[in-house]
Amino acid sequence: MQKVIGDFIHALRHHGLPVSPAETLDALQATELVGLDNPLRLKTTLSLTLAKNLQHRAQLEVLFDQFFQLSEEETEASTTDAENSEKGDNEPATETSASNQTEDSGANEQQAQQNNPDSSGPQVSSPLAQQLLSNDQSSLQVTIASAGKSEGATEMQLFTQKSQVSYRIMQQLGDRELNQELAELSEQPENLALVERLQQARQQLREQVSDYVEQQYLLFTQKSGEQLRENNLKKIKLTNVDHSHYHQMSRLVQKSAKRLASMHSRRKRVTKHGQLDTRKTIAANAAYDGFLFHTKWKSTKVDRPKVMVLCDVSGSVSRVARFLLLFLYSLQDVLPRVRSFVFASDLGEVTDSFDKDTIDVAITKIMDEWANRPTDYGIALQDFRSLALKDIDKKTTVIMLGDARNNNADPKSEIWEEVYKRSQRVLWLNPEGRYSWNTGDSVMREYAPHCSLVEPCNSLRDITRILGTLLQRS
């Protein structure tokens, strides 16, 4: 039982469930109490002890079905096979027993029989063929599993390796010898029945092997392929993300945001100890006849930053904007006060639409409404001044995402300067690389002096890094 649960936990870990050794012990204790005879209860027990949130629970249930279902099917299949061979093919069964007997009688005799084709009954020499004819399913399973291990079935990286691994397992089992023998046997017409049986058994074996490899793939590999792809997606330029990857990308964004959120979800309390708050202390101890039991100290609490985001949603920037907004709104646990504005030429606040709709829907709506207009930073900044400038205070961080390509209009950098002066800090994220700033109609140089930080930002990794530092400093 320990091994089964251990294997299962290994598969869980592979799928990203953080199962600790302590939890493993709990699960073992619990399974001992509950027993293995009721699969539904076993599933409940394991999810009680091993899965610690809803998402993990769902994953565990799916994996549980995969893990235990497949092994059940195997045993069922092997028993029915055994039954079939007992009931249906009476003749071949006796034949195998005959061949087994002769096998026992020694190698010399076998050789002699092979040299003499007229001797009683056809003979097979390759070990795989003998195993197939004896139809011993359990020992076959064991050999498949051990061959699978040595051929790295548990260490596959990509789904394309499946057929290769199956092939290698077949080779390891002795498929080549079997093939040779089959060719030899088929030269003699009297062996036709035997050849046919062997062919059939071989086909069956092939299916078993590929089932086994498929199971191993689902349990141990599927995820690592995904991880590989996710790692690549993190690095890719957001402007180059293929449409087909959008969905996966948004999931990834939410995942990274969640990780960042859990890292910073501890409310930071920087307290200034050492200064007695006399007024509070006297008030708190009035009940004790002037004895000072409770001392009250002066403290300052550092709050979460207030964040305002301005996103240019025109043309090439819109893709990055989409992910930045997605990221920010996935951070709501730690950044509860995000106000977002989008603009191409006119600027508007879109905070409310995020409250009403789910993130994906809201972003699509926003893009439809605001994007696809020529950019004008000047007008946008004017709008921003009338909408939100009065709300900017010393705790506010302003994030601008844009390429500062202004179609040769007036950049109105004096407004940006005002924003910079009123706020705690101003970040400008530019999806273009540094080398293309200030070329053509880009007016980065006008705005750059009025920013605390100017960074190129064009991949999920950049977004994570920049927002991570934002949270750290708060």
Give me the residues that bind other proteins (CB under 8 A), please. Answer: 18, 20, 22-23, 26, 29-30, 33-34, 40-41, 44-45, 47-49, 51-54, 57, 262, 265-267, 287-289, 291, 293, 333
Nearer to other proteins, 53 or 101 (CB): 53
Cβ proximity to other proteins, 355 vs 368, nearer residue: 355
CB 141 within 8 A of CB 71: no
Question: Angle at CA 166, nearest 5°, toward 183 and 75?
Answer: 100
Beta partners for residue 348, in sequence order: 342
Q: CB of 362: closest distance to other proteins in angstroms? A: 14
Rounded least distance, CB 33 to other proteins, Å: 5
Q: Which amino acid is at 6?
A: G
Shortest approach of other proteins to residue 71 CB, angstroms?
Answer: 23
Q: Kindly state the smallest distance separating residue 266's Cβ from other proteins, in Å.
A: 6
Residues facing residue 342 across a β-bridge: 311, 348
State in angstroms the smallest separation of the CB of 463 from other proteins.
21
Which region holds residue 103: left if phi is over 0, alpha if psi is between -120 and 50, else beta? alpha
CB of 45 to other proteins, least distance (A): 6
Distance separating alpha carbons of residues 334 and 304, to the nearest angstrom: 7
- 62/112 with CB nearer other proteins: 62
Nearer to other proteins, 47 or 430 (CB): 47
Q: 174: helix, coil or strand?
A: coil
Enumerate residues 6+ apart whose C-beta is below 8 A from 187.
Answer: none
Residue 34 beta carbon to other proteins: minimum distance, rounded to whole angstroms: 7
Q: Which of 378, 375, 431 is nearest to 401 (CA)?
A: 431
Give residue 141's identity as a one-letter amino acid code: Q
Nearer to other proteins, 40 or 107 (CB): 40
The minimum distance between CB 297 and other proteins, in angstroms, equals 15
- The beta-carbon contacts of 461-464 under 8 Å, at least 24 apart in sequence, are 461/234, 461/235, 462/429, 463/253, 463/256, 463/323, 463/324, 463/327, 464/256, 464/260, 464/327
If the CB atoms of residues 63 and 238 are measured against other proteins, the closer one turns out to be 63
Rounded to the nearest 5°, which phi and psi values hold at 348?
A: -140, 155
CB neighbour burial string for 121-134, b if at least 16 within 10 angstroms, e if fewer: ebbbbbebbbbbbb
Local structure of residue 341 (DSSP, 8 states): E
Strands ordered across the beta sheet of 338-343: 347-349, 338-343, 306-312, 396-401, 425-430, 453-456
Which residue, 32 or 414, is less far from other proteins as judged by CB?
32
Shortest CB 30 distance to other proteins, Å: 5
Q: Which is nearer to other proteins, 45 or 406 (CB)?
A: 45
Tokens of 193: 């029945």
In this complex, which beta carbon is closest to other proteins, that of residue 34 or of residue 236? Answer: 34
Contact predicate 343/310, CB 8 Å: yes
